[in-house]
Structure formats: C-alpha cells, structure tokens
Amino acid sequence: MNLDDRAFPADPRSPGPRPRLRASWRRSARYGLTTDEMRPVFTGSVDTGSLLYECGSEVLRGLQSTLANEPVSMMITDADGLVLSRLTEDPAIDRSLDRVHLAPGFYFSERNVGTNGLGLALADRAPSLVRAEEHYCTGLRGYTCAAAPVVDPGGAIAGSVNLTTWSDSAPELLLALAQSAAASTSALMLARGAGRTAQPAPHGEVFRVYADRTRSPESELLTPGWRNAFSEARSAFRRGLAVAVAGEPGTGKTALASLARRELRTERVLSARPPAPEDVEPWLELWVPELGKDSTCVIVSGVDRLPAWATSELAALFGRVRAHDDLQPYVVTTASADDLPEELRPLVDVVIDVPALRFRPDDIVPLAKHFAAQARGREVELTPAAARALTAFDWPGNVRQLRRVLREAAAKADRIDLHHLAPEVFTGPGHPLSRLQAVERDEIVRCLIEPGTTVADAAHELGLGRATIYRKIRQYRINVPGRTPTS
C-alpha cells in the first residue's frame, strides 16, 4: 500500500507529531493489514489477579463517576495490547465496541488492528490520540481513542489506559484524562509494589567515549568472561559487519563495543543513550548530524526501548550511511536479540551477547580492583573477606552496580574490608523491601560487618533476641562471610 498524502488523512487538529501517525500507518501496511481488515486475536485467559489489573480497575472505577452519562468507554490493557477490562455506562457504545471486538480478551495492538490509540501508545511508549480518519482500519473510524502507557514499579511499560468515544464527540479532554488515569495507576502500583522506588526517567545523554588512560584495557577490562564477546566483536568489526551488542542493563555493552573498535583504528566514538519518549526528537537532533562523518562511530544504546516511530527513523538513517568494505559507522545495543526492533534487523549483521556479571564470577574481583583504583587514583587492596562477599553477591545491576559500590568503598579507604561495602552486597535475591524494611536490613548488616562482631554482639547492640536476629537474617537473606549462616 502506497501511503501518500491522498491516502493519509490530513487533520490539522492532530495533537501528536504527524511522523508518528505516518510511521504507524506504514507499520500497519507492513504487517499485511488492509484498511478493511482487522485481526483482533482472542484469548480465553485474562490475568485479573495482576497488580496492573487491580490498580487500573480501581482508578477507572473512580474516573467512571466523573464521566457519568458520557459516551466514553474506559479500558486497561497489558503491554501486548490485550484488553483486560472495560468500563462504560453507555450501552450503545458498549454494543458498538463489541462489534469491532474492542473488548476484554482481544488483542488490539497495531499488529492486530493497525493504527489505533492504545496500539500507538504502546508502540511509541507515549500518550497518543487517534481520531476518526486517522485509524488505519475503516472499522474503527467511527471512534476517537486516547491512550497513555502505564509504567510499572521497575520503570517498564506494564500496559495502557485507553479511553474511547464516538468520533463526533469533543475529545479535547480525552487525552488529558487518559494521561491522568495512567499516572494514577502507575502511582498506585508503586505504592502497592512492596515499596520499590521507581526508576528515574532516562535523560537521553549523548557523550563521547574516551579511552581509559589509567590502565591497559587488555589487562584490566578484558576479564575472562568478557574475552569471548570482545574477540567476536573485534572480528565482526574487522569484517565490516554491522553489530548489535545484547545484554542486561549495566553489563558494559557500550564499553565492549568501543574497546573493540579502538583495537582496530583510532576514531571518535559517541554514545547516544535513549531518552524519555517525549524527548526523542531533540535527542535525535543532537547526534544525527555526526552519523556518517569520517572516523566517527555512534553507539545507539537501548534501541529496544525507543518508540516505534524512532526506530523507523533510525532504519532510514542507517540505510543511508551504511558502509561498504569498511567499519560500519553505527553500533546498537539491545536487551536481547529477540528485542531488536524489526525494522533494524536487516541493518544488523551479527548480534553479540554480553553475559550478565552473575555468570562471570571470575571477573568480579579484577573489575572491583580496577574501579576502586580508578576512583582512588592509586592501587586499592581488597581483603579476602571483602573479595568473598563481592563474589558471592549476584549483582542484579551488573557492572554498573559493581562500579558504583566500589567507588563508594574506595572513597573510604585504601584497603577495602567488609564494613566499607554497601549493605546491598550482603543481601541475597528476594522480594523487594519497603523503605522501613530496607532501613532495618541495613542496620543489621551495619552491625554484622563491624570487625570482630558476632551475631550475638549484633543482637545485643540492636536490642533484639538471638532468635529474632537469626529470623531476620533469614528473612532478608543476609550473608556476611564468616559471621552469618550461609544456608
């Protein structure tokens, strides 16, 4: 389908950037949809026990009283566009939405039904308003849909809030209501999500990556668990392949790519970290002019977290600057090969996996010494007990977390022992803690890691019975080598 200006509706009232809607129409065509066809897949199972369903339904019930007697249908969907619940007091719009299958149990993502409000909000990770003729499929052009993504306590997209009304109704406040309901749902999920703190919004930094002149990259950073990935990346770059580096957040994907590039030639390496969805346009303006310049490589991080319209822009950009018989001018990073956006896959020749730090125990102590020396400006010693504690921890934040912990510890001493390490290092994996529980856990750890302190000493200082402190050690999965039971 050729989406020229005659095919695409021209509506000057459109509140979002036209490129987003145009990109959504193009994606809808690539999915094989036609304007008179929808594929809203039905599933017989809807998770009504999830935190999203519980909190979203509560928020929408409160909003329902505000919209009494208004022809507005309110819905909660999951991150895949599956409609989990629908509330309305208008029987006519209810029956009408049943006919187009915009109902609980049906998937309403772009891939299923083309451009629509909730599908666009999930694809672009941003609030979206799709009016009558802006819908891709004609069956939806009798409605106006406003949707906003819901963020879970960990900072990921959990789903969306979608408000749908007739296309001839005034939608001026519809998007604001959807955004407010989504924000309220996110806040309620955070409050009930075992006290977890929300991840800070990304800032979309663009910065130059410099070589570490204080240590040799080969001796300090190319630890055993990293060498295979490094060699694979260097070989791919040498062959002129376009590379994606995959791994969990904080595993050092950008560092790996930049080190491998510097092994082959001297060049300027820019790292572009993804911003919040509403900041993508100025973020692109910061670094796109540098793409394709001589001896310049741009590492675009987290392409799996970018809005769908932005990955379309990247695909067009990479296609224009792709090199022949030379190092490619771009590298991308992603959580996994499966998460690499579909439009970028033809422009990536090889995906290199960087293992998480918990699968690289032999790397922990060498990296810890490197980061500590880097922060202190001179060699820093780790006591055997500190080294054991660092190696025993599972490092959910990977190398980034290790760097932060060692920099904090190195600020205190040239010889790092247990009591210089952050309390988090002595806690095993488990349920997230409330703020009060975290304070209690930290106080127990603080007492236990004091030199010469026994469990009985810690119990006495905290005013706890021995049975109580042992129970709390098990509860918080505290493990101080040599001072607490490991079972």
- 164-169 long-range contacts, CB within 8 A, separation 24+: 164/72, 164/73, 164/75, 164/93, 164/97, 164/102, 164/117, 165/70, 165/71, 165/72, 165/73, 165/93, 166/71, 166/93, 166/142, 167/131, 167/132, 167/141, 167/142, 167/143, 168/132, 169/71, 169/72, 169/144
**For range 339-365, the mean pLDDT:** 93
In which band, very low, low, confident or very high, does the pLDDT at 360 lie, cut at 50, 70 and 90?
Answer: confident
Q: Computed from CA positions of residues 387, 392, 396, 398, in that sequence, does the dihedral angle turn out positive or negative?
A: positive
Percent of residues, the chain, with pLDDT higher than 90 = 50
Nearest of 332, 336, 280, 255 to residue 301 by alpha carbon? 332
Residue with tokens 């919004």: 201
pLDDT at position 59: 94
In which band, very low, low, confident or very high, does the pLDDT at 19 lie, cut at 50, 70 and 90?
Answer: confident
Nearest of 403, 447, 445 to residue 424 by alpha carbon? 445
**For range 394-402, the mean pLDDT:** 89
Task: Judge whether residue 9 has pLDDT over 60.
Answer: no
Query: Does 386 or 487 have the greater pLDDT score?
Result: 386
**What CA–CA distance (Å, rounded) separates 151 from 32?**
30
Nearest of 480, 482, 483, 456 to residue 469 by alpha carbon? 456
| Mean pLDDT for the chain overall | 86
pLDDT at position 4: 46
**For range 189-212, the mean pLDDT:** 65
pLDDT at position 433: 67
Check if the beta carbon of residue 278 is closer than 8 Å to that of residue 368.
no
**What CA–CA distance (Å, rounded) separates 328 from 188?**
45
SS3 category, 485 = coil
**For range 464-487, the mean pLDDT:** 76
Q: Dihedrals φ, ψ of 38, to 5°?
A: -125, 150
- What string of DSSP letters covers 125-189? TS-EEE-GGGSSSGGGTTEEEEEEEEE-TTSSEEEEEEEEEETTS--TTHHHHHHHHHHHHHHHH
**What CA–CA distance (Å, rounded) separates 293 from 280?**
22
Q: Which domains can be identified in the chain, with CATH numbers?
A: 18-192 (3.30.450.40), 206-355 (3.40.50.300), 361-421 (1.10.8.60), 426-487 (1.10.10)
The 10s digit of each residue's pLDDT in 262-296 is 888 888 999 999 888 888 889 999 899 999 898 99
Q: Are strands 330-334 and 268-272 parallel, antiparallel or unpaired?
A: unpaired
Query: Does 405 or 48 have the greater pLDDT score?
Result: 405
